Amino acid sequence: MAGSDYRGIADAVAAEIAEGRLRPGERLPPQRDFAYARGIAVSTASRVYAELARRGLVLGEVGRGTYIRSDLGAPQPIRPEPPPHALDLQRTMSRLPEQEVLLAETLAGLGRHAVEAALTLYGPAGTPQARAVAARFLARDGFAPDPDGILFTGNGRQGLAAALATLAPPGERIGCEPLTYPVIRGIAARLGIALVPIPVDGEGVRPDAILQAHRAAPLSGLYLQPTLQNPLGLTMGPERRAEIAALLAQTGLTAVEDAVYGFLREATPLAALAPERAILVDSLSKRVMPGLTVGMIVSPPEMAERLAVSVRQGGWNAMGVALAAGTRWMEDGSAARLERAKRIDAAERQAIARDCLAGLPVTGDAAAYHLWLTLPETWRAEAYAAAALRRGIALIPASSFAVSPGHAPNAVRLALATPSRADLARALDALRRLALAGDDQVVE
């Protein structure tokens, strides 16, 4: 049968799923066996499986096979929101008691200025005061951003979207970690950008792997999280950062540096080492407030106008009240105080998690608000996540982070930031018992 008929075969399999002849959670045969049974080439079988994955009907797990999705019929966002009834181990948004006091005081203190800000439409450059304050706030040893190169967006996600839109027209390629921030997958898809997974080691993407991917087919840029990478918690050391900076200069590539978790761990940004070749994107969402926030872009000098155009065209400008509040938080030290408190909070929650999950293979950084749990062979990640949700615990399986469909490890990410510490400990104890019990066993 010709390879061009793979869509028809995928249609037939989809019909079997719809009719219940293939059930949710059922494992499809290996591609070679599928090809033999259907009288097709193995290469055609591979295209059928890829088409089924594209339609959201199946999920592949490295070394374990391809399975009918267990959540068929539900909407399939790249990262679903946790159900209202579930304990949230999906999002890394921490909420400390002092944040509520800070918000109330800030809004009261803004007074008439808040009204004026709400009535003002700001461009990507915000105000001279906001740029100067943001430049001082983002500065650290070896890094002193130029206020004239700072732009503002509604949040960090919008800043990332503007940066990717600037670097890569539709149809072009951006390199990134093979397991990455799920929102980037959605942004890239909407912009028509192909994400290219770059192999990593214990410090993040390997420079030699970047060169290999770029030589195979030119990249238009990179998307990297050098500090506390999501989901694996990897952080590049000084030597690796210097190697990446040298590679950017050598190749002419530009990196989008997602610094959203950078406030939890001291490290020199790539933008300090390669100011002409790195776009740093940060925000106040995780530092201060998710609902009243502002994103910040530190632009290379020659790219500032192009980035500003992307922000304007995307409708991603910061709102006046958020910009005014954010400027105040950065200027009066409130944001810095919350940073220090959250560093302590994240480290203490990591300690709770390591204690509750003792004996299980967990990886991550002791400074991060997230943890990576590799599951025993008795579990598949999707089934484990579904079983956890039945017990009132929402978490994210590895497939949500995988750039290449079918290349997700058998693991889940646990976000530690949102629940109370008592609830967190109870949830992690339940997850440990669930992991050790094995698939299809009841755990009370």
Q: What is the pLDDT along the chain (444 residues), one digit of tens a residue?
A: 444 578 889 888 888 887 778 877 788 999 999 999 998 998 898 889 888 877 778 877 666 788 887 655 544 445 556 777 889 999 999 989 888 888 788 777 777 776 676 667 789 999 999 999 999 999 998 899 999 999 999 999 999 999 999 999 998 999 999 999 999 999 998 999 999 999 999 999 999 999 999 999 999 999 999 999 999 999 999 999 999 999 999 999 999 999 999 999 999 999 999 999 999 999 999 999 888 899 999 999 999 999 999 999 999 999 988 998 899 999 999 999 999 999 999 999 999 999 999 999 999 999 999 999 999 988 989 889 989 999 999 999 998 999 886 678 999 999 999 999 999 999 999 999 999 997 644 444
Angle value at C-alpha 410, between 404 and 413, nearest 5 degrees: 85
Whole-angstrom Cα Rg for the chain:
23
| 154, 126 Cβ separation under 8 angstroms | no
Q: Which residues contact 46 (CB under 8 A, 6 or more apart)?
A: 31
Q: Calculate the CA dihedral of residues 17, 20, 25, 28 and round it to 10 degrees.
A: -50
* DSSP-derived 3-state class of residue 179: strand
Measured CA to CA in angstroms, residue 160 lies from 155, 208, 222, 404 at distances of 9, 25, 12, 20
Q: Which two tokens stand for residue 244?
A: 């990446």
Q: Which two tokens stand for residue 257?
A: 């540096």
How does 89-122 read in b/e, with b if 16+ C-beta sit within 10 Å? bbbbebeeeebeebbeebeeebeeebeebeeeeb
Tell me, what DSSP letter sits at residue 294?
Answer: -
The DSSP element (H or E) to which 196 belongs, if any, is: strand 194-197
Structure confidence at residue 418 (pLDDT): 94
Structure confidence at residue 77 (pLDDT): 47
The whole-model pTM stands at 0.82
Q: Which two tokens stand for residue 143?
A: 């890094």
Structure confidence at residue 442 (pLDDT): 44
Structure confidence at residue 1 (pLDDT): 42
Residue closest to 79 by CA, chosen among 401, 431, 410: 401
- Bridge partners of 413? 372, 396
Structure confidence at residue 83 (pLDDT): 75
